[in-house]
């Protein structure tokens, strides 16, 4: 194995490209091409953020120096920034590609262009340059200064400077950090503050990302934080819209726009991130979300797991028994309830452990409202049943029992009859022992109200975001889209941005279509025998065009459309043409021509005899022509 004569030791936070620049300089090899050949085995360099095949270099370094491919991946690439946001298998795949070679590193993170979104030039911090020169004797390119969204040096808090070296050039040339060049940008104080926070979070992640777990864990943390902050409910439903709005007001539009995280007037990435948890998202978006949720990247990952507040739509347990007969009446004795949900409303059944009395309540109900108000009784319980049975056997009047036990007399009567304690004729009406609560059918919200509401929301969303695409709009206003798509389709079509790729392939062949269609029309008209009708269907058949009713009337093919429109026949036009043709035939054969014969021969069903006048006129004209010897 060939060994490199020497190799520079990477400085802290030095990006691999920078180490190679220093190697190139130190070697004194005249061309970058030669250096690349020596390092990688071919004349090109590698991608800045995610170089692949680092083992090529590591294998040429003396063992024992600790400069393994693994070391370079961890310390000299942006791998730690991605790791917490990649699923385990992707993470392993990426690590392997970077070590052993697979040029699809960007595809592995399923975001090929992710890091070319904002930054185009290598950047540096003047104070870092000064510090590095003093400590190490030379400046170098830091990883941190190249990362998306990092415009301020997290160490020195000053804006970084963009050099004139474009990322797109880096695989062809090795550019060591020059003493000073490029332009200095300054930011408004509030923006600068947010930028520094963002840079600090990124720095924290670069330092700790290698030791964090993969997305399988991060996803759970998201779930926890979203619930903790009230953006995800007990049942796992996330309020995407509220989250997006709150993030926008937290960071401000200006800052989000600077980070390219505010497109089409909203933060569409948030919804995508929350909904499609399996696919990789831009680390910049992750950083924005986790600071918003937890206050900082460090807090997000490291803060000891706080207990989630319980979901208590009925206030904190225990809850009271509501049985008048129970010695625990109105005392808090019910510790456990079973929560259910229907149409977003929580329901629960409360069962007293001392008397078996069970009742339902629904909706969010503060604790203090449990001691009064109507409850829906599910079961009276053994204590109640025993007491009523005893009294009925003793001959007590059901009315008095009902008064004493605070219930409807019909309840007592039904119970008595059910148990054979009272004769069946005591029943009043059809009441049952337990009144079945017939839930009122939920009144359908007037669909006109909905229509107006959703139309307005749809138009508002378009109004606010002029450049929005149909897909983005669908994500942003999914409820409105869903409803309108089902109930108001035509309106939705007319009031949506035109899809970018709407024009189909065949739309480019207007001239070609026109030619075939002209030919087809001619064929139909010239076909022997009784005239065939020129219609869209017959043209389609003759010219072998699929879906003729769509294509031949499409605005994508204006010439064809115009020609077809001018040539198709109405039923009447066709009938007249047939009539004229039949008369000509009869004339040629020297037959006596009558209206009936013509109508019959032309196979025209004309019960109202609308065409008789026309037929007669044609016959007369034909006779005139014969007479004049035409
Ligand atoms: Zn600095
Ligand atoms: Zn009780």
CA 327 to centroid of ligand 2, rounded, Å? 7
CA 114 to centroid of ligand 1, rounded, Å? 25
| Ligand nearest to C-alpha 153 | 1
Task: List residues bridging with 350 in a β-sheet.
Answer: 359
Coil/strand/helix, residue 245: helix
| Ligand nearest to C-alpha 354 | 2
Coil/strand/helix, residue 394: coil
Q: What contacts 71, CB < 8 A, 6 or more positions away?
A: 58
Q: What is the pLDDT of residue 250?
A: 93
CA 371 to centroid of ligand 2, rounded, Å? 13
CA 365 to centroid of ligand 2, rounded, Å? 20
CA 154 to centroid of ligand 1, rounded, Å? 7
Strands 332-334 and 319-320: antiparallel
pTM beyond 0.75: the answer is no
CA 337 to centroid of ligand 2, rounded, Å? 14
CA 323 to centroid of ligand 2, rounded, Å? 6
* Omega before 156 within 30 of 0, i.e. cis: no
Beta strands in 375-501 (DSSP E): 376-379
| Token code pair at residue 344 | 């977003």
| Token code pair at residue 295 | 């206050």
CA 142 to centroid of ligand 1, rounded, Å? 9
| Token code pair at residue 332 | 């808090």
Q: What are phi and psi of 124, to 5 degrees?
A: -150, 170
| Ligand nearest to C-alpha 159 | 1
In the numeric block, the tokens 């065949």 are attached to 506
What is the b/e burial string over 365-380, where b = at least 16 CB atoms within 10 angstroms of the residue's CB? beeeebeeeeebbebb
Q: What is the pLDDT of residue 618?
A: 86
| Ligand nearest to C-alpha 322 | 2
| Ligand nearest to C-alpha 199 | 1
Q: What is the pLDDT of residue 428?
A: 64
Contact 71, 14 (CB under 8 A): no
| Ligand nearest to C-alpha 158 | 1
CA 150 to centroid of ligand 1, rounded, Å? 12
Q: What are phi and psi of 204, to 5 degrees?
A: -60, -40
Block means of pLDDT (10 residues each) for the chain, length 630 residues?
A: 81 93 86 86 81 88 84 93 90 90 77 58 90 92 92 92 84 79 76 94 95 88 88 84 89 87 73 68 88 92 72 84 90 87 83 91 83 87 91 88 85 87 73 50 63 87 77 80 87 79 68 88 87 89 84 84 89 89 86 84 82 86 74
- How many Cβ atoms are within 10 Å of 228's Cβ, its own excluded? 16
Q: What is the pLDDT of residue 145?
A: 93
Q: What is the pLDDT of residue 438?
A: 46
d(CA 319, CA 331): 7
Distance of CA 527 to the CA centre of its chain: 56
Contact 364, 338 (CB under 8 A): no
| Ligand nearest to C-alpha 329 | 2
Q: What is the pLDDT of residue 197?
A: 95
Q: What is the pLDDT of residue 440?
A: 46
Q: What is the pLDDT of residue 175?
A: 87
CA 129 to centroid of ligand 1, rounded, Å? 7
CA 222 to centroid of ligand 2, rounded, Å? 42
| Ligand nearest to C-alpha 382 | 2
What stretches of 124-278 show up as alpha helix (H) in DSSP?
126-136, 189-208, 215-228, 240-251, 253-258, 268-275
CA 8 to centroid of ligand 1, rounded, Å? 22
CA 422 to centroid of ligand 2, rounded, Å? 26
CA 167 to centroid of ligand 1, rounded, Å? 20
CA 155 to centroid of ligand 1, rounded, Å? 5
CA 115 to centroid of ligand 1, rounded, Å? 21
Residue 223's closest CA among 240, 211, 238? 238
CA 329 to centroid of ligand 2, rounded, Å? 6
Residues with CB under 5 A from ligand 1 (ion): 125, 127-128, 153, 155-156
Contact 356, 379 (CB under 8 A): yes
């Amino acid at each position: 194995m060939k060994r490199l004569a020497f190799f520079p030791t990477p400085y802290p936070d030095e990006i691999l490209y920078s180490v190679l620049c220093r190697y190139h300089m130190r070697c004194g090899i005249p061309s970058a091409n030669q250096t690349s050949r020596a390092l990688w085995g071919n004349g090109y360099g590698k991608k800045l953020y995610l170089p692949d095949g680092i083992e090529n270099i590591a294998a040429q370094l003396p063992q024992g120096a600790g400069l393994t491919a693994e070391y370079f991946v961890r310390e000299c690439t942006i791998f730690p920034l991605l790791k917490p946001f990649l699923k385990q298998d992707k993470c392993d795949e990426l690590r392997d590609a970077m070590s052993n070679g697979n040029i699809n590193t960007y595809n592995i993170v399923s975001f090929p262009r992710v890091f070319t979104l904002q930054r185009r030039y290598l950047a540096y911090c003047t104070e870092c340059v000064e510090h590095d020169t003093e400590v190490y004797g030379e400046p170098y390119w830091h990883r941190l200064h190249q990362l998306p969204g990092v415009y301020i040096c997290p160490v020195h808090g000053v804006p970084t400077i963009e050099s004139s070296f474009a990322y797109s050039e880096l695989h062809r040339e090795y550019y060591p950090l020059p003493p000073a060049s490029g332009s200095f940008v300054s930011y408004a104080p509030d923006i600068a503050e947010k930028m520094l926070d963002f840079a600090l979070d990124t720095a924290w992640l670069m330092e700790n990302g290698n030791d964090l777990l993969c997305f399988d864990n991060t996803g759970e943390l998201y779930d926890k934080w979203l619930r903790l902050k009230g953006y995800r409910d007990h049942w796992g439903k996330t309020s995407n819209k509220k989250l997006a709005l709150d993030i926008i007001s937290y960071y401000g539009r200006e800052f989000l726009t600077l980070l390219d995280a505010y497109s089409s007037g909203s933060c569409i990435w948030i919804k995508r991130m929350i909904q499609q948890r399996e696919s990789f998202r831009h680390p910049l978006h992750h950083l924005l979300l986790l600071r918003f949720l937890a206050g900082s990247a460090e807090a997000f990952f490291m803060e000891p797991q706080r207990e989630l507040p319980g979901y208590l739509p009925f206030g904190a347990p225990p809850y009271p028994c509501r049985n008048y007969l129970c010695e625990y009446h109105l005392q808090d004795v019910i510790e456990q309830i079973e929560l259910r949900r229907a149409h977003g409303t929580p329901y629960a059944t409360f069962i007293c452990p001392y008397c078996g009395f069970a009742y339902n309540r629904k909706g969010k109900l503060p604790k203090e409202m449990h001691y009064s108000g109507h409850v829906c009784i599910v079961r009276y319980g053994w204590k109640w049943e025993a007491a009523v049975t005893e009294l009925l056997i003793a001959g007590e009047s059901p009315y008095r029992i009902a008064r004493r036990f605070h219930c409807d007399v019909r309840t007592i009567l039904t119970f008595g009859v059910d148990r054979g304690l009272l004769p069946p004729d005591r029943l009043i009406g059809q009441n049952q022992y337990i009144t079945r609560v017939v839930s009122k059918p939920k009144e359908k919200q007037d669909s006109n109200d909905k229509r107006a509401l959703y139309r307005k929301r749809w138009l508002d969303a378009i109004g606010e975001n002029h450049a929005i695409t149909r897909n983005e709009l669908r994500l942003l206003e999914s409820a409105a889209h869903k409803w309108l798509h089902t109930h108001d389709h035509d309106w939705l079509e007319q009031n949506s941005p035109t899809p970018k790729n709407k024009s189909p392939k065949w739309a480019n062949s207007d001239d070609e279509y026109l030619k075939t269609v002209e030919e087809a029309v001619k064929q139909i008209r010239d076909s022997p025998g009784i005239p065939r009708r020129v219609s869209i269907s017959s043209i389609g058949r003759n010219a072998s065009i699929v879906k003729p009713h769509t294509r031949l009337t499409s605005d994508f093919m204006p010439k064809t459309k115009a020609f077809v429109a001018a040539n198709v026949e109405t039923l009447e036009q066709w009938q007249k043409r047939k009539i004229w043709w039949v008369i000509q035939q009869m004339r040629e054969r020297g037959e006596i021509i009558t209206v009936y014969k013509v109508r019959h021969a032309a196979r025209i069903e004309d019960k109202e005899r609308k065409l008789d006048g026309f037929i007669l006129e044609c016959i007369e004209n034909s006779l005139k022509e014969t007479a004049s010897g035409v």
